[in-house]
């Protein structure tokens, strides 16, 4: 799908679902990795992640575009366009847009490594996401130092 086809589809969906014209630009932005799309407040253009169409289907692309169009139309009407606002949530539900974009193959998975420590005094095991200095910190139960388990 080209940017011209995306522009034409966005204009059609804007008229069909919102009853308002989309008069700005929309195009694919291959630099987007973890998000489905992005609405720019400054010049009102919309970027769409091309993986929303290539890895999924046209229906998924439509839902992502409708999500961004909700931001677009609410902002231009002077209403609260943020995700947390009730106006946004209501409008998104009315038009059938997706609240979240599905994860793509390019999105970084947050696999957090756990560091496991054992207290030398009482034997309690703790898990942390970050490594810490076992000589500096002590157990809050007994005051002994920890040793790294893994």
| Residues catalogued as catalytic | 68
Q: Rounded CA gap, 57 and 60, in Å?
A: 5
Q: Rounded CA gap, 84 and 90, in Å?
A: 11
Q: Rounded CA gap, 101 and 34, in Å?
A: 9
Angle between helices 58-76 and 86-95 (to 10 degrees): 140
**37 phi, psi to nearest 5 deg:** -165, 175
Q: Rounded CA gap, 145 and 150, in Å?
A: 16
| Contact criterion met (CB below 8 Å) for 92 and 66 | yes
């Amino acid at each position: 799908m080209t940017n011209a086809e995306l522009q034409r589809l966005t204009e059609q969906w804007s008229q069909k679902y919102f009853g308002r014209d989309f008069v700005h630009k929309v195009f694919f932005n291959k630099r987007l990795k973890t998000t489905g799309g992005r609405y720019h407040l400054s010049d009102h253009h919309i970027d769409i992640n091309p993986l929303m169409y290539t890895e999924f289907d046209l229906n998924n692309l439509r839902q992502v575009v409708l999500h961004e169009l909700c931001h677009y139309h609410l902002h231009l009407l002077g209403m609260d366009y943020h995700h947390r606002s009730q106006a946004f949530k209501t409008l998104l539900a009315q038009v059938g847009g997706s609240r979240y974009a599905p994860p793509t193959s390019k999105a970084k998975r947050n696999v957090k490594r756990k560091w496991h420590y054992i207290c030398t005094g009482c034997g309690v095991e703790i898990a942390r996401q970050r490594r810490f200095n076992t000589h500096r910190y002590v157990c809050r139960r007994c005051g002994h130092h920890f040793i790294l388990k893994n």
